Amino acid sequence: MAANKILITGGAGFIGSHLIRLFVNNYPDYHIYNLDKLTYAGNLENLKDIEGADNYTFIKGDIVDEQFVKGLFAEHAFDSVIHLAAESHVDRSIKNPTEFLFTNIVGTVNLLNAAKEVWAADFSDKVFYHVSTDEVYGSLDDGGYFLETTAYDPQSPYSASKASSDHFVRAYSNTYKLPIKISNCSNNYGPNQFPEKLLPLMINNIKQNKPLPIYGKGENIRDWLYVVDHAKAIDAIFHHGKLGETYNIGGFNEWKNIDIVHLLCKVMDRKLGREEGTSAQSITYVQDRAGHDMRYAIDAKKIMNELGWEPSLQFEEGLEKTVDWYLENEDWLENVTSGNYQKYYNEQYS
């Protein structure tokens, strides 16, 4: 594939930074452009180890700015796009849905238009790869799994905005024959995740002996995948996935929230030299998330069978690595939890 100039959006965020690292290190013949607005969730510290690489360029910018996006495509004539930039936190979408509409929907359409325009002469060897979420499928209340063919049924402002962006990407494939790929992944965990999401928030609170806020009864179920395995899945789909297709990504690794937090407490007690059971005493049941989806579970057989991808890490091993990273990177945690984070935290958990 002659995909030399690749635009990755949202590369300073959690998943994007792991994807950028993988592409910059594994594909020296590609040039990777990282377009990121650097919102509260974007952090160039995540990419310190590769920021000087010859095949990497950072561009600060907002995908909601139509003229800026058009100008960028006109200047660089990217061969491919891997689009991750998004507002990604469900709780924030409940507080401020409009921002999700702008970045996740308008931003995606701006990128689609710019790609369509600059590639108009020739779509061959081009790919617009849209990174999405399993939350577009809604909530599973009993057995069963999300398949690529499961009807969309988004339940939160976040998932509604991601579902809408997926529909636009498919509409551009159908209407304009834009060469697209989409993947829908389950919950990621690992280093560099902003501590508003369940695991890093709990790690930070355990470290500081703060209450561990469990929404509702803690019986909601999520399907967890190590972030580097998600990045490897994107790599496999980008290079070998079929155009126009959707691939579900997940680890067949379902956990009730309360069980995963208990396991985390146990791991952290051991690493912090505390007596087993100490951290779990801080578990506190708090008001449930509005419209809280009960269960997500991905059937990932398509990517496994067609592309040979599978998760490389067992969950317990991934969790150990994640906890080690947060304990070894106290500065990172301190930097991202200073300033506005306290304001967000107080509003969310008061």
- Name the residues that contact ligand NAD, by CB under 6 A: 9-10, 12-16, 36-39, 41-42, 62-64, 84-88, 103, 107, 131, 133, 162, 185, 187-188, 194
49 labelled catalytic: no
Of 88, 84, 63, the C-alpha closest to 73 is 63
Q: How open is the CA angle 24-28-32, to the nearest 5 degrees?
A: 45
Residue tagged active-site, from 33, 145, 158, 247: 158
CA dihedral sign, ordered 39, 46, 256, 148 = positive
Residue 94 CA to residue 288 CA, distance in Å, equals 12
CA-based nearest residue to 196, from 9, 43, 49, 22: 43
Which residue's CB comes closest to ligand DAU?
133
Q: Please state, in angstroms and as integers, the Cα–Cα distance from residue 162 to each residue in 11, 85, 108, 273, 279, following that order.
A: 18, 11, 10, 42, 35
Taking CB under 6 A as the criterion, which residues in 85-124 touch ligand DAU?
Answer: 88-90
Catalytic residue (choose from 62, 87, 135, 148): 135
Q: How far is the CB of 183 from ligand DAU (least distance, A)?
A: 12
Among 207, 289, 301, 321, binds ligand DAU (CB under 6 A): 289
134 is catalytic: yes
Q: Which residue has the tokens 């937090």?
A: 261
Binds 212: which of ligand DAU, ligand NAD, none (CB < 5-8 Å by kind): none
Extract long-range pairs of 117-125: CB within 8 Å, 24+ residues apart: 117/70, 117/73, 118/73, 118/74, 118/77, 118/78, 119/178, 123/177, 123/178, 123/179, 125/1, 125/2, 125/3, 125/79
135 is catalytic: yes
Residues in a beta bridge with 285: 214
From residue 7 to residue 46, what is the string marking binding to ligand DAU with x (rule CB under 6 A)? Answer: ----------------------------------------
Mask for 194-233, x = binds ligand DAU (CB under 6 A): ---xx--x-----------xxx----x-x-----------
Candidate segments 2-10, 23-31, 129-137, 305-313, binder of ligand DAU by CB under 6 A = 129-137
Shortest gap between Cβ of 230 and ligand NAD (angstroms)?
Answer: 7
Contacts to ligand DAU by CB under 6 A: 88-90, 133-135, 186-187, 197-198, 201, 213-215, 220, 222, 257, 289, 296
